[in-house]
Structure 1
Amino acid sequence: MPTLHFRSFLLLLAAVSIAFISILLPFYPAIFWGGVLAVIFRPLYRRLLRAVGGNSPSLAAFLTVLCITLIVILPMLFIAGALANEVAGLYTRINSGQLNLGVYYEQIVGALPPSVHGWLDSFGVGDLLSIREKLSTGALQASQFLAKQAVNIGQNTFQFVVGLGIMLYLLFFLLRDGAAIVPKLKRLIPLEDSHRHGLFQKFATVVRATVKGNIVIAATQGLLGGLMFAFLGIQGSLFWGVMMAFLSLLPAVGASLIWVPVAIYFLVTGALWEGVVLILFGVLVIGLLDNLLRPILVGKDTKLPDYVVLISTLGGLSVFGLNGFVIGPLFAALFIACWDLFPDAVAQHQQGLRDIRPTESPDSPPERLPR
């Protein structure tokens, strides 16, 4: 192909690609999660395909989508509906003054010995009136934000249903035709076969590790924490359980940001057995759950460093919203994988340059013709 024709084709390819991506952008969460679920449930699809005889990929894909709907989507919709009702009740209690974090803080500080008050004053947290107002204002603003998000979800029900339908529709074809789609995608990447295989393998591994591992661990910690809160008679146990599950996605801190302050409140206000039970449960059950389940669900070889997971998760959430808890670690893992491949790529490039040598050095004298 002549150079002008090739450049014109590249320009046309870039233009239609940008136009097509701009069309898909409004539905990128549905497309993204369709791909993620296809990667995660690919083993289930293969088992179902073998169960139906291996000759009906459409039936196996349909059964896989049905299983995903029953065990993932419907429970999440039920929890989301119950959580919206609980958030509305929480907002009502905070707005009416029935729930006041400032009062709880004042009760905690008031139960501490006088020597601790001076230590709190040195850190600027001893002004009860100021701290109480800040906590009350912060709790009210947070409840208003959550209530607003619940209202927005209710108002965008049609868009949510459309996105859910697109995700399930795309998921069906990704499961059924994934074996043919992946090789075509690999051909589009101008890299060595080993590098392309490594990047695709890293992508699938990180997606499975992030979603299968982190979400299952976070959901288990949130479930157990919410049940313990309900057992101790704490109002809004579902809401606090969801908050613990969400915070469990962040390494190092996790669910302790929720249950530790509650345990301290129990101890300093005289509810000793509640505080001791919550501390023991948080340390021995919630805290150790990550160490027990992560090697089983994720594996040691696929685990990113905790500081990378923390930074990439927070950055992904700030840039991509809720989808960022998967996109952030995914980009971080691909970044590390690409830089791991960089020395090999440079070495192969240099070897290729050495192999392409002129047969005669430019500085050598010209060959003499025979007389």
Structure 2
Amino acid sequence: MIQRKSGEPEPGNKKIQQAASTALYAVLVILALWVVRDFIPAVVWAAVIAIALWPLLLRLEPQRGSRARATIVALLLTAAVALFVVLPFVLVITQAAHETHDFVTWFKQAEANGIPLPDLINHLPFGAQQIASWWQENLARPLHDSPVMNGLHGETAVAFGRHFGAVAAHGLILFGFMLVTLFVIFLAGPRMSENLVKATRRAFGDDGALIASQMTAAVRGTVAGLVVVGIGEGALLGIAYAIAGVPHATLLGLLTAIAAMLPFCAPIIFCGAALWLFVQGATVGAVSVLIFGFVVVLIAEHLVRPLLIGSSTRLPFLLVLFGILGGAQTFGLLGLFIGPALMTVLMVLWRDWVR
């Protein structure tokens, strides 16, 4: 008969202790996540950006670099990300400030005399009479007597302003925490990457580490597909705006690039530019901008972007499209990167299943 050492738990008690430890760890992790729940989006955004810039970080910071160099590299990369996000908004706000005087003058004239009916309305193929009638009733008269403007009473405007201010403040706070988190990730450098790989392999085995690696590649490919293609679309359409004579072509090109980072949003900008050209009587320029814009978007959205994202993960075009659109619908902007990563997991599991 085997003698059990003194103090050694019986097999039944050992299983109970293991189950209790697992439950305790799970409760503590859930509690910790609940405490920091409001900052999880900032951490996830920082992780997405860090994954995208990790190859650059490894080039700038060698495995055995000095602590001072690691800090400088982390600061430079974090500052570059901050400028990349903040600079477009600064340019838009600066340009808007330059146009404030003209807008105030136009608004005062509209408030006193109303907004004339654009000639474009009379040339619409259908609905022109109904639109003209509504315009004459609500906007052609002085705005202080307009039923539409009277409906926008002060309390509504104040409530909207407060809501917008609260959302903007919350976004700025999250952006600040995201930058701090990103700096810490960059400062940890290759050590963090090695520890994450070891922890993943220990928890889920080699298959889990492979899936994590492919999800990382999916996120990196998605960032390249969204950001690089968006910048390319904005640059090409910015040139088209300048040639067609659209005012503030550089600013519109920047706005187009930002919109193009979201799937199928670039047409909002270049269709608006084409409409302005059409109202000004530049029909050829308007049609040219429309045709060129849709050609650029079709090539970028249906060829270049799926190629960049799919080539890094070997995902079919349909799964890339479903991942981007479904992820955005489910998780918001973060879903643009989470969706393709989840589709990668689905594809890996399918390949293992049919192997």
Q: Normalising to structure 1: TM-score of the pair?
A: 0.67
Q: Partner residue of 1:68?
A: 77
Question: Is the contact between residue 317 and residue 323 of structure 1 (CA under 8 Å) also seen in structure 2?
Answer: yes
> CA 1:90–1:320 in 2, change beyond 3 Å: closer, same or farther?
farther
Asked whether 1:180 is paired with 2:183, we answer no
Q: Partner residue of 1:153?
A: 168
- Match among 247, 250, 257 for residue 234 of structure 1: 247
Asked whether 1:127 is paired with 2:99, we answer no
Question: Is the contact between residue 325 and residue 336 of structure 2 (CA under 8 Å) also seen in structure 1?
Answer: yes
Cα-to-partner distance string for 1:99-122 (whole Å, 9 max, x where unaligned): 9xxx8995334235xxx3xxx35x
AA in 2 matched with 1:14 = A
Task: Quote the offset at 1:59 in angstroms.
Answer: 5.1
Q: Partner residue of 1:262?
A: 273
Q: Partner residue of 1:201?
A: 213
SS of aligned partner of 2:311: coil
Asked whether 1:278 is paired with 2:289, we answer yes
Q: Partner residue of 2:6?
A: none
Q: Partner residue of 1:78?
A: 87
Cα-to-partner distance string for 1:24-56 (whole Å, 9 max, x where unaligned): 322212321332233222222332344xxx422
Q: Partner residue of 1:8?
A: 20
Question: Is the contact between residue 327 and residue 338 of structure 2 (CA under 8 Å) also seen in structure 1?
Answer: yes
Provide the aligned C-alpha RMSD in A.
4.5
Question: Is the contact between residue 221 and residue 312 of structure 2 (CA under 8 Å) also seen in structure 1?
Answer: no
- Match among 2, 9, 22 for residue 34 of structure 2: 22
Task: Quote the offset at 1:175 in angstroms.
Answer: 4.0
> CA 1:188–1:211 in 2, change beyond 3 Å: closer, same or farther?
same
Q: Partner residue of 1:167?
A: 182
What residue ranges of structure 2 are gaps of 5+ in the alignment?
Answer: 1-10, 140-147
Q: Distance in 1 between matches of 2:317 and 2:217?
A: 17
Cα-to-partner distance string for 1:221-258 (whole Å, 9 max, x where unaligned): 234434644663436963x545533442454x342233
Question: Is the contact between residue 327 and residue 336 of structure 2 (CA under 8 Å) also seen in structure 1?
Answer: yes
Task: Quote the offset at 1:61 in angstroms.
Answer: 3.9
Asked whether 1:42 is paired with 2:54, we answer yes
> CA 1:335–1:25 in 2, change beyond 3 Å: closer, same or farther?
farther
Q: Partner residue of 1:330?
A: 341
> CA 1:60–1:44 in 2, change beyond 3 Å: closer, same or farther?
farther
- The 10-residue stretch of structure 1 (332-341 or 163-172) with the greater mean CA deviation from structure 2: 332-341
AA in 2 matched with 1:341 = D
Q: Distance in 2 between matches of 1:131 and 1:199?
A: 58
AA in 2 matched with 1:167 = L
Q: Distance in 2 between matches of 1:308 and 1:146?
A: 40
AA in 2 matched with 1:66 = L
Task: Quote the offset at 1:199 in angstroms.
Answer: 0.8
Task: Quote the offset at 1:314 in angstroms.
Answer: 4.1
> CA 1:302–1:294 in 2, change beyond 3 Å: closer, same or farther?
same
> CA 1:158–1:187 in 2, change beyond 3 Å: closer, same or farther?
same
Question: Is the contact between residue 213 and residue 297 of structure 1 (CA under 8 Å) also seen in structure 2?
Answer: yes
> CA 1:200–1:336 in 2, change beyond 3 Å: closer, same or farther?
same
Task: Quote the offset at 1:174 in angstroms.
Answer: 4.9
Task: Quote the offset at 1:68 in angstroms.
Answer: 2.0
- The 10-residue stretch of structure 1 (267-276 or 87-96) with the greater mean CA deviation from structure 2: 87-96
Q: Distance in 2 between matches of 1:88 and 1:203?
A: 43
> CA 1:215–1:181 in 2, change beyond 3 Å: closer, same or farther?
same
Q: Distance in 2 between matches of 1:146 and 1:227?
A: 36
Q: Note the 1:208-227 alignment, pairs <5 A.
A: 208-226=220-238
Question: Is the contact between residue 45 and residue 61 of structure 1 (CA under 8 Å) also seen in structure 2?
Answer: no
Cα-to-partner distance string for 1:59-93 (whole Å, 9 max, x where unaligned): 56434423423433223212223334567889995
Q: Distance in 1 between matches of 2:212 and 2:15?
A: 32
Number of aligned residue pairs: give it: 323
Task: Quote the offset at 1:4 in angstroms.
Answer: 1.1
SS of aligned partner of 2:119: helix
- Match among 256, 259, 284 for residue 244 of structure 1: 256
Task: Quote the offset at 1:319 in angstroms.
Answer: 4.1
Q: Distance in 2 between matches of 1:8 and 1:47?
A: 45
Question: Is the contact between residue 266 and residue 275 of structure 1 (CA under 8 Å) also seen in structure 2?
Answer: yes
Identity, in percent, stands at 24
Question: Is the contact between residue 91 and residue 147 of structure 1 (CA under 8 Å) also seen in structure 2?
Answer: no
Q: Partner residue of 1:361?
A: none
Q: Normalising to structure 2: TM-score of the pair?
A: 0.70
> CA 1:7–1:155 in 2, change beyond 3 Å: closer, same or farther?
closer
